[in-house]
Amino acid sequence: MKDIIISGRMKMADIISHDKRALVLLPRFGIEMGVGDKSVKDICNQKEIDTDFFLLMVNVFLNANYFPDRKLKSVDVDMLLLYLENSHKYYLEEKIPYLESLIEEFKKTVDHPATEQLDKFFKQYIIEVKDHLAYEDHTAFPYVAALSEQIKKNNPDISAVDYHIGVFEERHDNIEEKLSDLKSLLIKYFPPSNDRYIRIRILNELMDFEEDLINHARIEDKVLIPIVEHLEQKVN
């Protein structure tokens, strides 16, 4: 659904059929398939999800050109953190284990010495992704949660905290970049072998993961960072 802005009146099912990326997005809000013909707004109400927040996230995720400037101030930062944590959970508990199982299957199916190299490269990449997610889960997000707690108080005070969102912004690197090396390895350099469909499946999954990570990082850069900067200004 390129360049279409999703509205509350649209049917939830239409978002999915127009843009398959919504498939991974909806479960992060606790929305499962079986949505019938209900509108986005109806489902949000039913699930007690703030519709404006949902629309903001979906539009940023699905549309690289969408700039949410005016709507940012109304975002509930706790809701945003929950969404980001759910996304990380999906990567760690679903996507990465599935990719790992595909690589294992590839190693079993393909009798070629280069599989060892592919496996090594892949494992190295997964370590980097996990480090990236762990930093966010254990350092950046707890800081945002603590800041959000303080903001709710009469006299917010974060003077004891030796961290600010600028640190996160600075070190927020592109974990999806290395994925393209992995893709190239499979597309260009890994010799033709008896892998037939498994290679296609791995590539499909890697491309899907890559896209998801790019869109996820956009939410962190375009939504999380500006909101937290705004909160920091309030307490300082």
Helix (H, G, I), strand (E, B) or coil at 39: strand
CB of 88 to Fe ion, least distance (A): 6
Q: Is 212 an interacting residue with respect to Fe ion (CB under 5 A)?
A: no
Residue 23 CB, nearest approach to Fe ion (Å): 19
Tell me the β-bridge partners of 11.
39
CB of 206 to Fe ion, least distance (A): 18
Q: CB-wise, 13 or 147, nearer to Fe ion? A: 147
Instruction: Point out which span in 71-79, 136-144, 155-163, 202-210 binds Fe ion (CB under 5 A).
Output: 136-144
Alpha-carbon distance of 90 to 236, in angstroms, equals 35
Applying CB under 5 A, which of residues 136, 176, 210, 212 lies at the interface with Fe ion? 136
The least CB distance from residue 129 to Fe ion, in Å, is 10
Least CB distance from residue 92 to Fe ion, whole Å? 11
- Using alpha carbons only, what angle is made at residue 218 by residues 89 and 158, rounded to the nearest 5 degrees? 75
Q: Token pair of 45, please? A: 């109400």
Residue 44 or 228 with smaller CB distance to Fe ion? 228
Question: CA torsion 44→47→49→55, rounded to 10°?
Answer: -30
CB atoms within 10 A of CB 134: 12
Cα(92)–Cα(207) distance, rounded to whole angstroms?
Answer: 17
Q: For residue 96, which of 61, 59, 134 has the smallest C-alpha distance?
A: 134
- Report helix angle 77-90 to 225-235, nearest 10: 140
Query: Per CB under 5 A, which region of 54-62, 131-139, 206-214, 225-233 contacts Fe ion?
Result: 131-139
Name which of 90 and 121 has its Cβ closer to Fe ion: 90
Kindly tell me which of 82 and 203 has the beta carbon lying closer to Fe ion. Answer: 82
Residues at the interface with Fe ion (CB under 5 A): 136
